[in-house]
Structure 1
Amino acid sequence: SWYDFMCVGSIQSFIGRQHKGGPNSRGQQKLYIGPWLHGRFNKVNKVGEMEYPENANFDMMTEMIRWFDHYLKGVDNGIEKDPNVRYYAMGAVGEPGAPGNEWRAVADWPVKTVETPYYLQPAGKLAITKPAGSEAFTQLTADPLNPAKIEARGFPGARDARQVEEQENVLTFTTDPLTEPVEWTGNVKAELLVSSSAKDTDFIVRVSDVYPDGRSILIIDMIRRARYRDGYEQQVFMEPGEVYKVPFNVGWLSQVFNKGHRIRVTVASTGAPFYEPNPNTGEPITIEFPEKVVVAKNKIHHSPQNASRILAPVKK
C-alpha cells in the first residue's frame, strides 16, 4: 500500500526476490500496490482524508485464493500469466477528469523514469533550477524537550499536513503552481546539505500534494539520523559548522500532481510523538530517553556550492 509504513520493505522484497532470489523465486513474484493503509486493502478506498474513486478497490482475497488454488492445488487458472506488477497511479481527489487514479500493469518494477532534481531554494521555494546567488541556508532548531509535533496515528499520510508545516522549526519548500500535470512514480530520494552545532541530529523529509485550496496532503515521509548518513554499518559524527551531505530514500509513490497544484517538500529535525526526538548528544542510543540532551542549531544549505535537493522519479 502506498500509505503503508511497510511499503518500502515490501517493494524491496519484490525486487530482491524477483531478480536475485533462488531458482524457484526468481521471476515468479507478483506485486500489487494500491492507495490503502496497512492490511486494509480489501474494498476500502478511503485513506485518511482522501476518498479515491471506486476503481481503487481491489478484491485481494479473491486474488489470494487464485494464487493458492494454482500453487497449492494445481488449478490452471492463468494467474502465472498475469502481469508481474499492478500499481495504482494516484491523482487529485475530488477533481473530475484529473489525470491518474487508475490501475496500470507493467512487467517489472521500478518503471522507467527520469531522475529529476528539485532544489530547495531560499524563501521556501522548490524548483528544478539550481539555486543562484551567494552562500545561503535556512536554520531550524532541534530541541529534544520542545519538539515539533507529528501525531502518532499509525501513518500520518493522506491527511492535510498544514498543522505540522505551520509550526516553528518546520521548513517548507514549495513549487509554483504547476502549468501541466507532473507524475512521480518510483523511489523519491533526498540529498540534504546540512551543518549543525551538535554532533548528531535528525532530518525528516516529507512530500505533499498542495491543492489549489491550500490543503497539503502528505504522501510520503522518512527520517534519517545524521550519524548514519554513510550507512547503518557505521556511526560518523558531525563537527560543528562543517557541511555534510545526508542522502536517504524518502519513499516510494506513484502520484500525478495535477495542473494548478503545487509540490511541497517539508524538512524538520523533530516530529514527536511519531518520531522520538534525538538527544543530539551523540551518545549511545538507549531504550530510556536520556536526561542529558543538547539543543541543535541546524542549517539546511541551498547555495550553488551546497544545493540541497530532492531526486524525483518523473515519468515522461
Structure 2
Amino acid sequence: MAATPPEKGAYKDYPSETPANFKPVHDAFDYESRDVMIPMRDGVKLHTVILVPKGAKNAGMLFTRTPYDATEMTSAIESGHLAMAVSHDDDASDVLVQDGYIRVVQDVRGKYGSEGDYVMNRPLHGPLNPTPVDDSTDAYDTIDWLVKHVPESNGRVAILGISYDGFEPLMAIVHPHPALKAAVPMNPMVDGWMGDDWFHNGAFRQQNLEYIYEQTASRKNHYKWWKNYADDYQFFLEGGSAGAIAKAYGMEQLGFWNKVVAHPAYDTFWSQQAVDKILGREPVSVPTMLVASLWDQEDIYGAFAVYKAMAPHDNAHKLFLVAGPWFHGQEVGDGSSLGAVRFGSDTALYFRQNILRPFLAHYLKDAPAETAPVNAYITGQNRWETALAWPVAPGGDVRLVPEADHSLKVAGASTPAQGDAGTVEYVSDPAHPVPYRPRPVGPMAGQGWQHWLTSDQREAASRPDVATFTSPVLTEAVQISGEPRVHLVASTTGTDADWVVKVIDVYPDQVPTQPEMGGYELGVSMDIFRGRYREGFETAKPIAANTALPYDFVLPNANHVFLPGHRIMVQIQSSWFPLYDRNPQKFVPNIFLAQPADYVPATQKITTGAGGTTIDLPLGRKA
C-alpha cells in the first residue's frame, strides 16, 4: 500500500546544498569570457560569446558566426588558458593567442542561444527572403555593437570560419560594416546545387540526410539520426530513394527538406542564392582571403567559384586565394598528411603562420605584410608556389584520350585523336552500385570520411561496371593547375544516367620510401554529372536511348604534378554510392520520388578514339 504523501508545509524542506546563484571565480584565467545577447535591427537578440585576453588593449577582434553552438566552441576544454578553450574552434588558436586577438563567436539566428527563426543558409533579403533581415544585416549589426561595447578593442574586426561558418564571412562582405577590415572564408558553402553540400551537377548527396535532419529538426540539434546498420551502403540500398528514406524519418516536417524535394533542378531557388553569383555583382571592398582545400570532401566547389566570380572586379587588389592539400577544414589542424599521402611537412601550420597570420596582422594591427594574391600547394612535388592569379597556368592543355583497348593517350589539346573510333561498355545496375569508398561505408562524420577523396581507387578499377583507361609510364612530369574539362561521349540503353569521371595518379608498382604507396591509385580530380541535365541544368530531360551524346562538364580544381615513372588513369562509372543517390536509369520527373520498379539496369557505352571522349587537363607553371 502506497504511503500517503504529507500535507504541504508539514515539515521544513531539507536545506539544498546548491546555491540559488553561484558565481564562478576565474581570477586565474588568462582571459575573460563575456556572454551577451546582441540586439538586431528587428529586435531579435543573438547569443554571443566574447573572449578577451587579460590585459588586452587596442586589440583586433576575430569574429565567427556559427549554427554549431557558440558556447561549445568557446569552451572546448575546461582550462584557464584561452588557447585550450578554443582548441577545437574553426579558427587557428595558435594565431589567435600569439597575436592577442579578442575572440567573438555568435550563434546565428534561430540556433542554440539566439532568438529568431532558423533558415538554412538564410538567403539575402529579396525574392527568397521577404524579411528585412538576413546574415548580412545580422553581421553588420553585430559588428556595430562590438566596436561600441568592447573597450579593449581597436575597433577593427576580421570575420572568419569554415564550411557553414565560412559561408557567413561571404554574407558579411555584402554591404559590409566599415569596421570589417578582413574576411577569411575557409571551405565555404557557396552553391549547394552545383558542387557543394546538397548536390553535385544535379546528383543528390543523400548521406547529407543526416545533417539536414539534425540541423533543422530543433534549435539545439536535440533529435539525432539513427539507423540499424553498420554499413551505410546497405542502409541506403535497402531504403530505396532518398525521398523514401526521408519519409521513413518523418522529414516531411522539415522546411528545408521540403524545399530540396521541390527543387531537384537548378531553378531560381538555387541560382538566386548562389553566393558566387551574388558576389560577382559586388565590388571587392573588404580584403578577402578565400581558403580552398584541394581534397575537400564537402565543399570543394565554393571557394574557387567565389574567386572566379570576384576576381574580375578586384580593381583594388583585395582578393586573395589559398589552395592547400587538405580535407575539409584541415587547414586549422595537422596538415602533414592526408590519408596515405604524405607531404613531408605540416602544410596547415605553414598556412597559419606564414599566410594567415601576416594577413590578419596587416589588416587588424597595421603590421607590414606582402601576402601574395595566390598561394597554392603543388601536390606531387610537395611545395608551395605563389602567383598573381588562379589558375597558376601558362595556357594550353594536355589532352587525355581514352581508347577502345583501355589505354589512355596523352597528347596536346590541339593534337587530333589518332586511330579509329571505338566503344568500351559496361552494365550499370542500380541493385549493385559502385561504392564511393571501401565497404563497410561509415557515416559522413565517421572514420574514413575525411580521407575518402584520397582513398586508393584500385577497388573501383577491379569492378566490371567501371571503365578504366591507363596511360603508358610517363617519361616527363605533367603539371596541371585548374579545372579539368570533360567531353564525354556516351550512350545508354536507359533514358537517364549518371556519369562519374575520375582523373587518377597511378604510382609506380613499388615505392621504396613508402612501400604502402606501391601501385596506389590517387584520385586527383573526380566528380559526378547527372545526365538528365545534359542540355541545361534548369530543366531535366530524358536521354535518347542507344544514342551517343556529348556530356560536357568540369571537374574540381587541382594543382598537381604527375611525376615521371607514374601513369595517368581515367575511370568512368555510373554510380558513386551511397554518397550520391542512385539514378534509376529510367527517366522519372523527380528522382526523390522514384519507385522501386523505376530502377533498371542499363548498358553504357563510352565512345573512344577519334571523335570520342576527351579530358583536357590545364597545364600548370613548371618549376
- What TM-score, normalized by structure 2, do the two folds share? 0.46
Structure 1 position 309 matched with structure 2 position 590: no
Within 5 A, what are the aligned runs for 1:203-282? 203-213=499-509, 214-282=519-587
3-state SS of 1:113 partner: coil
- Which residue of the other structure, out of 450, 455, 480, is the alignment partner of 1:184? 480
What is the identity, as a one-letter code, of the residue corresponding to 1:54? S
Rounded to whole Å, the distance in 1 between the matches of 2:418 and 2:326 is 40
Distance in 1 between residues matched to 2:586 and 2:346, nearest whole Å = 49
2:376 equivalent to 1:115: no
Instruction: From 378, 384, 388, give the equivalent of 1:103.
Output: 384
Residue of 302, 306, 311 corresponding to 1:13 = 306
Residue by residue over 1:155-207, the C-alpha shift from the partner in whole angstroms, topping out at 9 and shown as x without a partner, is 52222110111112101111100011111111111110011111110000011
> Distance in 1 between the 2:356 and 2:575 partners?
40
Letter in 2 for 1:146: H
Distance (Å, rounded) in 2 between the aligned partners of 1:31 and 1:310: 26
Deviation at 1:274, TM superposition (A): 2.5
| Change beyond 3 A, Cα 1:199–1:286 | closer
Q: Which residue of 2 aligns with 1:161?
A: 457
Report the AA paired with residue 426 of structure 2.
L
> What is the CA–CA distance in structure 2 between the aligned matches of 1:68 and 1:89, rounded to whole Å?
24
Query: 1-side partners of 2:366 and 2:352: how far apart?
Result: 18
Q: Which protein is richer in helix relative to its size?
A: 2
Q: Which residue of 2 aligns with 1:126?
A: 408
In the TM superposition, what whole-angstrom CA distance separates every residue of 1:235-265 from its partner, at most 9, and x where no partner exists?
A: 2322122221101111111111111100011
Does 1:28 pair with 2:309? no
Distance 2:318 2:344 in 1: 30
- Name the amino acid aligned to 1:200: D
Instruction: Give the Cα–Cα distance (whole angstroms) in 2 for the partners of residues 87 and 230 of structure 1.
Output: 34
Distance 1:125 1:146 in 2: 26
Please name the residue that 2:93 is paired with: none
Shift of the 60–133 alpha-carbon distance from structure 1 to 2, 3 Å rule, reads closer
Mapping 1:14-163, distance limit 5 Å: 14-20=307-313, 27-42=317-332, 43-54=334-345, 56-62=347-353, 63-71=355-363, 73=364, 75-79=365-369, 81-91=370-380, 100-111=381-392, 112-128=394-410, 130-151=416-437, 153-154=449-450, 156-163=452-459
Task: Provide closer, same or farther for how the CA distance between residues 159 and 83 of structure 1 changes in structure 2, counting only shifts above 3 A.
Answer: same
Q: Structure 1 67/190 Cα, relative in aligned 2: closer, same or farther at 3 Å?
A: same
Q: Distance in 2 between matches of 1:287 and 1:234?
A: 15
Q: Aligned partners of 1:281 and 1:236: how far apart in 2?
A: 11
Correspondence for 1:294: 600
Alignment partners' CA distance in 2, 1:289 and 1:142: 17
CA distance in 1, matches of 2:619, 2:359: 33
1: CA distance, partners of 2:343 / 2:470: 24
Which secondary structure does the structure 1 equivalent of 2:575 belong to? coil
Secondary structure of the 2:331 match is coil
Q: What displacement does 1:83 show?
A: 0.7
1:94 counterpart residue number: none
Q: Which AA in structure 2 matches 1:276? A: D
Q: Which runs of 5+ in 1 are unaligned?
A: 92-99
Give the superposition deviation at 1:106: 0.3
* Counterpart among 265, 272, 296 of residue 4 in structure 1: 296
SS of equivalent residue, structure 1 residue 27: coil
Distance 1:309 1:203, change over 3 A: same
Q: What's the secondary structure of 1:150's corresponding residue?
A: coil
CA 180–60 in structure 1, closer or farther in 2 if over 3 Å, else same: closer
SS at match of 1:287: helix
Alpha-carbon distance between aligned partners in 2 of 1:145 and 1:40, rounded to the nearest angstrom: 35
Shift in alpha-carbon separation, 1:289–1:61, aligned structure 2, 3 A: farther
Higher strand share: 1
Counterparts in 2 of 1:188 and 1:57: CA distance versus 1, 3 Å: same
User: Does structure 2 retain, via aligned residues, the 8 Å contact 1:141–1:269?
Assistant: no
AA of the residue aligned to 1:143: D
Equivalent in the alignment of 2:190: none
Stretch deviating more after TM superposition (6-15 or 193-202)? 6-15
Q: Match of 1:244, as an amino acid?
A: L
Q: Deviations over 1:187-236 (max 9, x none)?
A: 11111001111111000001111011122111221000111123312223
Q: Is the 8 A contact 1:121 1:127 kept in 2?
A: yes
| Contact 1:191/1:308, CA 8 A, preserved across alignment | yes
Cα distance change, pair 225–69 in 1 and its aligned pair in 2 (3 A): same
Q: What is the CA distance between 1:116 and its match in structure 2?
A: 2.3
Distance in 2 separating the partners of 1:276 and 1:163: 20
Q: Distance in 2 between matches of 1:135 and 1:310?
A: 16
Q: Residue type of the partner of 1:48?
A: G
Note closer, same or farther for the CA distance 1:114–1:134 as it changes in structure 2 (3 Å cut): closer
- 2:295 corresponds to which letter in structure 1? Y
Unmatched runs of 5 consecutive residues or more in structure 2: 1-292, 442-448, 510-518
TM-score norm. by structure 1 comes to: 0.88
- Identify which of structures 1 and 2 has the higher relative contact order when contacts are C-alpha pairs closer than 8 Å and 6+ apart: 1
